Amino acid sequence: MGVALAGQLVPFLAYLAFFGLLPTVAWLVFLLVVVLWRAWRRRPLLAAVAGVLPAAAALLATGNVVLGVPYWVRAHAAPALAALHRYRAEHGHYPQINSTIVGEFPRELQLTLRRAGCPLYRPSGAAFHLTCEGVAFTKCTFEAELGRWRSWD
């Protein structure tokens, strides 16, 4: 039970962090504008540099969280990837049909994919694409032929 709750808690915390970040960033921007306005009247160049650096750091940090593949998605997908590799070792190939085809996709494998938060499996030649749920509405796809993750909304 603790594992199931932890599996639900991490995406929930990521969701809260993402949407809690927006009001926090808005408040920080407001404070930064006030500080910059006061500094601009005294030293314009210093105010401009002080405004650009935090804005660039915030943009890089939020872009990495939202657009990058979060670490916890990879951790949650590990059992699904291991199950797919076991299937290949046992059968000589990955499943040849989409996971959305009910009744034809191996049931135990489908349950493992859903528990991992990766409900969409698509064959791709001799490999596969596995799509998992990311932060908020972001989807993360593992491309087995390239051995890499990519994110999309």
Which of 125, 126, 120, 123 lies closest to 140 in space, CA to CA? 120
In terms of pTM, does the model score above 0.85?
no
Cβ atoms within 10 A of the Cβ of 55, count?
A: 13
Query: Distance between CA 83 and CA 125 in Å, rounded?
Result: 18
Cβ pair 121, 128 in contact under 8 A: yes
Which pLDDT score is estimated for 1?
Answer: 36
pLDDT in the model for residue 146: 92
Q: Which residue has the higher pLDDT, 143 or 4?
A: 143
**12-38 pLDDT, tens per residue?**
556 556 666 666 667 677 777 777 777
Give the number of other CB atoms < 10 A from CB of residue 21.
15
Pick the closest to residue 116 from 79, 144, 89, 68 (CA basis).
Answer: 79
**In the predicted model, what is the mean pLDDT of the chain?**
77
111 or 152, higher pLDDT: 111
- Quick one: average pLDDT of 70-78? 84
Which residues lie closer than 8 Å to 120 by C-beta, 6 or more apart?
Answer: 98, 99, 100, 130, 131
Ranking 13-17, 65-69, 120-124 by mean pLDDT, the lowest is 13-17
Judged by average pLDDT, the poorest of 4-8, 83-87, 129-133 is: 4-8
CB-side neighbour CA atoms (13 Å) of 62:
15
Tokens of 36: 């910059």
CA distance 36 to 146: 46
Name which of 71-75, 78-82, 124-128 the model is least confident about.
71-75
Which of 24-28, 61-65, 96-100 holds the top average pLDDT?
96-100
